[in-house]
Structure 1
Amino acid sequence: MSNKMFSIEISAELNQIQLIKHYLGKWKPSFVSINNLSETKFEDVVQITNYIKKDLGIPVLVHMSGISKTKDEIVKELKTMEKYGIHRVLALQGNLYHGIKIKKDFQYASDLVKFIKSYDNSIEVFGTCYPEKHPKAKNLESDIEHLKIKVDAGAIGLISQICFDNQKVYQFINKIREHGINVPLFSGIMPITKEYQLHWLEHNKISTHNSFDNVKDLDQYGINFSIKQINDLLMHNVDGIHLYTMNDWQTTDAIYDKIKHNFK
């Protein structure tokens, strides 16, 4: 039996419960992370989380960002999770969407990890990492040093930012292991099937390394690219794959059907 793990990220959309039930029942991911975008109420995130955890029996990570939250606001979210018996979190620095103001309690994601663990050490906290370095980091070396602080603070697993160059992923994994970071790493994959996604990547300074230049059928190319990338990552023994679905159920399903043999 394979020990590789397959996980996904979805958005908390209450009107998609039936789709969530159907596809998660088919894919049976190792866990699901629920993103907490600025336009999504935390209560909605918790409702979706509780449904997936309780009714579908699948472990769930709730995204929790610190950049726009005070300690009191984080405690309120933790108490809401506590009420539903939810004990897994993906701790993020977070992004600033329109109208969101920076708070000063959590300068880095590692600060949020420390705070969550001090609030309740039994909460399982995951973090993120950047194979091509965080956009605000001076260089990859200093970024890995900050990552070590996050892991030492209590992060038990890492989900990577999208990277379209597997060689950079392998180099990154080797580097973090050299720095004594030995927690599981789930390699983040985002299928690029729409033009707006290419613009989003550019806006967020994520390079596609010319992989998608002059592509005519972006939908099929993006699916095939993800399948090839995932199979190569698994051949090189990454701990797991984390698929950013963007709630595109059909695209995700097309990819899953071609990679599922890796997880049997």
Structure 2
Amino acid sequence: MKIKDLFKNKEVTLSFEVFPPKTDDGYEAVEKAAARIAELKPDFMSVTYGAGGGTSKNTGNIAADLQDKYGVPVLAHLTCVSSTRDLVREVVKSYREKGIENIMALRGDIPKEGRIAFDYNHATELIYDIKSLDESFCIGGACYPEGHVECERQSEDIIHLKEKVDAGCDFLTTQMFFDNSTLYQFLYRIREKGIEVPVVPGIMPITNKRQVARSVALSGSTIPQKMKIMVDRFADDPEKLKEAGIIYASDQIIDLISNGVSHIHVYSMNKPDIAEGIMRNLSTIIR
């Protein structure tokens, strides 16, 4: 099923993200974790492409298995920062042959060792290419409620976001954020600029103290005072912090749904227990 049609047909959706293994040796463990999450029957699951496309060869295989074995709609990622146009053409063809209908089109992070290809500079160019290769794909894109870390001003970032949507992006998924007011303000700004596609909040449950510093470093996300207090209080008790993090994320989702933002994507980090905890807390709300 195409994600854009799912959003039209269902008032509230909950989806989870998984990522491929860094090496082939880890494939079986990731496969088992993804299967456990799929058994929860989320509305769809996304499968990431890996930094610089390093784990890209497994993205399509995991996505196809989730779709074919468990009947879960899938969103396969495709990043372009280190891809040639020929490689993109091959990946799109592979996704089509596997019956995958949804692609998350991303620029991706620039590898530490530098770029190995220069065919693409922005995700907008990738979206144009996917549409030119096969218009039937439903395409998702990324957006940043607190502004992209490489943009000096959010107004500039929103201009680029409009270009992405005009290129053919059917919906947007946000970078992680921990204060819902940030999202509400962002939605107001982009709607003012004529961006009307569905926006799916990306929620990251913070379940260990290392995630806080990493989240800030990678995304520039602001950590609210109440989250800092939570992490400080339970930092030395991993089980308590994990449960508190699941509850914090669940409360975020409930607030979003209450305010009419009803398609939620959870960055579950290949951890079925986190997905199970979120699903358990929301079972009567999302069904």
Q: Could you say what secondary structure the match of 1:8 adopts? A: strand
Q: CA deviation at 1:220?
A: 2.6
Which residue of the other structure, out of 142, 147, 154, is the alignment partner of 2:156? 142
Q: Could you say what secondary structure the match of 2:45 adopts? A: strand
Aligned mates of 1:156, 1:258 — CA distance in 2: 29
Which residue of the other structure, out of 219, 223, 248, is the alignment partner of 1:208? 223
8 Å Cα contact 1:184/1:239 also seen in 2 = no
Does residue 145 of structure 2 align to residue 131 of structure 1?
yes
- Structure 1-normalised TM-score? 0.93
Aligned-pair identity (%) = 31
Which residue of the other structure, out of 221, 246, 249, is the alignment partner of 1:226? 249
What root-mean-square deviation, in Å, do the aligned CA atoms of Structure 1 and Structure 2 show? 1.8
Q: Which residue of 2 aligns with 1:248?
A: 271
Query: CA distance change for structure 1 residues 2 and 85 in 2, over 3 Å: closer, same or farther?
Result: closer
8 Å Cα contact 1:156/1:183 also seen in 2 = yes
Q: CA deviation at 1:254?
A: 1.1
Structure that is richer in helix per residue: 2
8 Å Cα contact 2:143/2:174 also seen in 1 = yes
8 Å Cα contact 1:124/1:156 also seen in 2 = yes
Which residue of the other structure, out of 6, 12, 19, is the alignment partner of 1:4? 12
Pairwise mapping of residues 61-72 of structure 1 onto structure 2 (< 5 A)?
Answer: 61-72=75-86
Q: Which residue of 2 aligns with 1:237?
A: 260
Aligned mates of 2:207, 2:36 — CA distance in 1: 22
- Structure 2-normalised TM-score? 0.86
8 Å Cα contact 2:13/2:263 also seen in 1 = yes
Q: How big is each residue's C-alpha offset from its partner over 1:198-255, in whole Å with a ceiling of 9 and x where there is no partner?
A: 1211322222133332422232321221111111011001141100000111122112
Q: Which runs of 5+ in 2 are unaligned?
A: 1-8, 22-26, 235-240
How many residues are matched? 263
Which residue of the other structure, out of 129, 132, 141, is the alignment partner of 1:115? 129
Q: Could you say what secondary structure the match of 1:180 adopts? A: coil
Pairwise mapping of residues 1-264 of structure 1 onto structure 2 (< 5 A)?
Answer: 3-13=11-21, 14-16=27-29, 17-26=31-40, 28-38=41-51, 41-99=55-113, 101-204=115-218, 205-214=220-229, 215-217=232-234, 218-264=241-287
Q: How big is each residue's C-alpha offset from its partner over 1:21-69, in whole Å with a ceiling of 9 and x where there is no partner?
A: 333122x222111011147532321111111111111111111111111
Aligned mates of 1:242, 1:227 — CA distance in 2: 12
Q: Could you say what secondary structure the match of 1:138 adopts? A: coil
Structure 1 window deviating more from structure 2 (84-93 vs 98-107): it is 98-107
Aligned mates of 1:238, 1:10 — CA distance in 2: 22
Q: CA deviation at 1:131?
A: 0.6
Aligned mates of 1:95, 1:194 — CA distance in 2: 24
Aligned mates of 2:283, 2:114 — CA distance in 1: 39
Q: Could you say what secondary structure the match of 1:125 adopts? A: strand
Aligned mates of 1:199, 1:239 — CA distance in 2: 28
Letter in structure 2 aligned against 1:82:
R
8 Å Cα contact 1:185/1:239 also seen in 2 = no
Q: CA deviation at 1:2?
A: 6.3
Q: CA deviation at 1:184?
A: 1.0
Q: Which runs of 5+ in 1 are unaligned?
A: none
Letter in structure 2 aligned against 1:37:
G
Q: How big is each residue's C-alpha offset from its partner over 1:54-85, in whole Å with a ceiling of 9 and x where there is no partner?
A: 11111111111111111111112112212212
Aligned mates of 2:102, 2:170 — CA distance in 1: 10
Q: Could you say what secondary structure the match of 2:81 adopts? A: coil
8 Å Cα contact 2:77/2:106 also seen in 1 = yes
